[in-house]
Amino acid sequence: MKILFLTDNFPPETNAPALRTFEHARVWVEDGHDVTVITGAPNFPTGRVHEGYRNSLYSVGEMEGIRVVRVWTYVTPNRGRFRRSFDYLSFMLTSLPAAVIQERPDVVVGTSPQLLTVVSAWAAARLRRRPFVFELRDLWPESIAAVGAVSGGLAMRMIAAAAHFLYNRADCIVSVTESFVRVLRSRGIPENRLAVVRNGVNLSQFTPGPKENGLREEAGVRPDEFLATYVGTLGMAHGLKSVIAAAEMTRGEPIHYLFVGEGAERAELEHEVERLGLSNVTFLGGQPRGRIPLILNASDVVLVHLRDDPLFSTVIPSKIFEGMAAAKPIVLAVTGESAEIVTGAGAGVVSRPESPADLAAAIRRLRSHPELARELGLNGRHAAETEFCRRAAARRMLAVLARTAGLDAGPASPPTPDCRGAAPQEHPS
């Protein structure tokens, strides 16, 4: 099967959409399928093109057997409405002709959260007379309304109309959550055009390891401190000022908070820490993907936090599964399907979103009960091994793509006990 996949993010970028696409595509290639990814020059979230790459009009490379076509985009940091909108628009305009000139695929996939990417995928599929699959990572238009990224009724109506159009034109919608599917059913999308493939984790990259690996010293964490770590985008959706408020509540206690990542809110969060005079908070900034397992292993708990908005009860942050794989207890400040996963697996403690008091209480509880923390971590690792392996998820999605294209997915490569694979390396061709 020939798969054409359009995504605004791809390695060496390390956000969730980039990694899901890469790890799925790598398995599809292993199973004998041809995969071409249309993407831009890697620059998320800082707006600086990664070393070794250029923001050229059109270039072709190869990564773990995946054909990677990179097109020009307007490069900008992940902040500011106008500039980000122009970034998204530029990718739509350059990715469409690039997609159309590729060898005719059997199926075309477009992934959100950037909706204009999916518009380009739909257009390419129709121009090539191929089935179109919408991989739904965020619910539209609710996701953009929840973070206040768009103001004005006209803009919101246009986004809602575009989402409605794509939902109804997709030959199949692959959702990352059951919650999204329930919403789409209520909007009249037929059941036979809906599928769920949840996120997961590469178990060979994220494994339990020693806490004393040098990371704590690098971050200025004392040996006696309990380390609560947030890894991911420091963005508008995450409500991380509540974590700073929890740090203020636990000032003077042997608890340290570590933020790893970049995003639109980083400067504001750092300013708040400085204003409060907190010495128990450290920002490490964005880190190479290969260092994230070391960071998790050095931590005592993994923090997962989103704003207190009904929309976020429908999402499942992928950082949950990475924490599970590292056998670290999760402190989850998210309601809905995410909470069901964490509590169902016995993998962590759930607190109310944007409630610093609840968050501080959950962290204190795990610090005071190390045996409970250890049990929750082991439960999470078991769940990652049995339910949330990325390799298995890739094959579930492959079966959906094959069905949509009216083809047989073919035999899978020999089963393996994990989601093995080295860090991606791209080679120009």
pLDDT at 150: 56
For the entire predicted model, the pTM comes to 0.80
pLDDT value at 402 more than 70: yes
Query: Which whole-number Å values give the CA distances from 29 to 34, 168, 205, 216, in the listed order?
Result: 6, 30, 19, 38
Question: Residues 237-270, buried b or exposed e (16+ Cβ, 10 A)?
Answer: bbbbbbbbbbbbbbeeeebbbbbbbbbbbbeebe
Whether residue 226 sits in one domain with residue 161: no
Task: Grade residue 429 by pLDDT with cuts at 50, 70 and 90.
Answer: very low
pLDDT at 423: 41
Whether 413 is in a domain gets the answer: yes
Q: In angstroms, rounded to a whole number, what is the distance separating the alpha carbons of residues 309 and 283? A: 26
pLDDT at 80: 63
pLDDT value at 419 more than 60: no
Token pair of 349 as six digits: 């403690």
Whether residue 287 sits in one domain with residue 138: no
Q: Identify which of 5, 404, 398 has the alpha carbon closest to the alpha carbon of residue 171.
A: 404
Lowest-confidence segment of 16-20, 97-101, 328-332 by average pLDDT: 16-20
Token pair of 366 as six digits: 């795990």
Whether residue 382 sits in one domain with residue 237: yes
Whether residue 51 sits in one domain with residue 134: yes
Q: Is 71 helix (H, G, I), strand (E, B) or coil?
A: strand
Task: Grade residue 156 by pLDDT with cuts at 50, 70 and 90.
Answer: confident
Neighbours of 318 (CB within 10 A): 22
pLDDT at 18: 93
Residue bearing tokens 């000139």: 101
Neighbours of 101 (CB within 10 A): 10
Task: Grade residue 415 by pLDDT with cuts at 50, 70 and 90.
Answer: very low
Whether residue 395 sits in one domain with residue 369: no
Average pLDDT of every residue of the chain: 91
pLDDT at 190: 95
Sheet with 281-283: strands ordered across: 281-283, 255-260, 226-231, 301-305, 330-333, 348-350
Token pair of 51 as six digits: 């070393």
Whether residue 135 sits in one domain with residue 223: no
CATH number at 128 reads 3.40.50.2000
Contact between 96 and 120 under an 8 Å Cβ cutoff? The reply is yes
State what percent of residues in the chain have pLDDT above 70.
92
Q: How many domains does the chain have?
A: 2
pLDDT at 149: 54
Whether 185 is in a domain gets the answer: yes
Listed in sequence order, the residues at least 6 apart from 47 whose beta carbon sits closer than 8 Å to its beta carbon are 75, 76, 77, 78
Whether residue 268 sits in one domain with residue 314: yes
Q: Is 265 helix (H, G, I), strand (E, B) or coil?
A: coil
Instruction: Tell me which residue range forms the domain holding 414.
Output: 2-200+389-428
Task: Grade residue 311 by pLDDT with cuts at 50, 70 and 90.
Answer: confident
- For residues 35-59, average pLDDT: 95
Whether 207 is in a domain gets the answer: no
In this predicted model, what pLDDT tens digit does every residue of 238-291 receive, in sequence order? 999 999 999 999 999 999 999 999 988 999 999 999 999 999 999 999 998 889
Whether residue 416 sits in one domain with residue 328: no
Whether 205 is in a domain gets the answer: no
Task: Grade residue 175 by pLDDT with cuts at 50, 70 and 90.
Answer: very high
Q: Is 228 helix (H, G, I), strand (E, B) or coil?
A: strand
Whether residue 397 sits in one domain with residue 348: no
- For residues 133-143, average pLDDT: 83
Whether 21 is in a domain gets the answer: yes
Whether 132 is in a domain gets the answer: yes
pLDDT at 151: 55
pLDDT at 84: 81
pLDDT at 271: 97
State what percent of residues in the chain have pLDDT above 90.
76
Whether residue 419 sits in one domain with residue 369: no
Whether residue 154 sits in one domain with residue 15: yes
In this predicted model, what pLDDT tens digit does every residue of 70-119 receive, in sequence order? 999 999 886 666 788 889 899 999 999 999 999 999 999 999 878 899 99
- For residues 167-174, average pLDDT: 96
Whether residue 223 sits in one domain with residue 172: no
Q: In angstroms, rounded to a whole number, what is the distance separating the alpha carbons of residues 189 and 182? A: 10
Whether 13 is in a domain gets the answer: yes
- For residues 192-213, average pLDDT: 93
Residue 237 DSSP code: T
Q: Say which residue, 310 or 417, is predicted with more confidence.
A: 310
pLDDT at 146: 54
Whether 303 is in a domain gets the answer: yes
Helices of type H across 346-389 = 356-368, 370-386
